[in-house]
Amino acid sequence: MKNNIVYLNGDYLSLGDAKISVLDRGFLFGDGVYEVIPCYKGKLFEFDAHITRLKHSLVEISIDYAYTVEQWRQLLQPLIDNSRNQYIYLHLTRGVGIKRDHAFSKDMIPTVFAMCSNIIPVNNLEQGIKGLTLDDNRWRLCHVKSTALLANVLLKQQAIEIDNSEAILIKDGYVTEGAASNLFAVIDGVLMTPPLTHSILAGITRQVILKIARANNIDVVEQEISIEELKNAQEIWLTSSTREILAVVKLNGTNVADGKVGQLWYTLNRLYQNYKISN
């Protein structure tokens, strides 16, 4: 964080001075949406795509906030330290009500908060991580990047408490995504990822991987993956903006293939790192 400065409703303040009302609907109901945007040495990564997704999330929950990509860029710029790899956390809630009430008025003024933190590189990337499958008990609008993340929080915690890095969520016998990531698997030599539905978040990392794979003639399909297919996969990856592409080498305590990071992961990770430098 640059000198510990954050943005709140038009002001740049120190983190300790940034305060919101207890009647803010984000606090009372988790009534808001957010984005996490990587910023490599001052360059915002896939910024248009993140802002486009933010706009979709806002539309889905009926918050009207007509800010352009350039206005967002100007607002965020003062938070960024150009010498580091960081990520912006950008959060909008419906705003402050006059009392606690589930129903909302359409003319509320959204609360806008942003802060910038350093990206901590993943240790021992080539060792891979452990994943645990759990029942996807989240709501039906997982395409909205909502701040209401209690189910994700509890699922991830459950996985972590028994020495896994991520919960891999299963709905009706098929994989949806991770608690805070999208999922890819190599099955019969083909790279697969679940299609975009309301059951998953349209991850920006996922979108970049699809683009890079296609540009490099790597077969990739957007297709449902059953739990049986996942258990027999040659490779499993989890993807997100801050952790990029992580290879899962153990699923529910059992090796994925030979229990080592797979060849396609090495290829895609190299292509992804190159893409980051040139975009």
Ligand X SMILES: Cc1ncc(COP(=O)(O)O)c(C=O)c1O
Contacts to ligand X by CB under 6 A: 36, 152, 177, 180-182, 201, 203-206, 239-241
Helix axes 69-76, 47-60, angle to 10 degrees: 110
Distance CA(202)–CA(195), nearest Å, equals 9
Identify whether the C-beta of residue 79 lies closer than 8 Å to the C-beta of residue 8: no
Tokens of 54: 């933010």
Distance CA(36)–CA(116), nearest Å, equals 9
Nearer to ligand X, 25 or 206 (CB): 206
211 catalytic, yes or no? no
Burial 93-126 (b: 16+ CB within 10 A, else e): bbbbbeeeeeebeeebebbbbbbbeebeeeeebe
Give the shortest CB-100-to-ligand X separation in angstroms.
27
Question: Comparing C-alpha atoms, which of 141, 162, 138 is closest to residue 151?
Answer: 138
Nearer to ligand X, 164 or 240 (CB): 240
Give the shortest CB-50-to-ligand X separation in angstroms.
7
Distance CA(144)–CA(61), nearest Å, equals 8
Q: Which of 41, 43, 145, 250 is catalytic?
A: 145
Nearer to ligand X, 180 or 261 (CB): 180
Identify whether the C-beta of residue 171 lies closer than 8 Å to the C-beta of residue 199: yes
Nearer to ligand X, 9 or 117 (CB): 117
CA distances 247 to 8, 138, 185, 205, 234, Å, are 37, 24, 10, 14, 11
Give the shortest CB-274-to-ligand X separation in angstroms.
18
Give the shortest CB-1-to-ligand X separation in angstroms.
19
Active site residues: 145
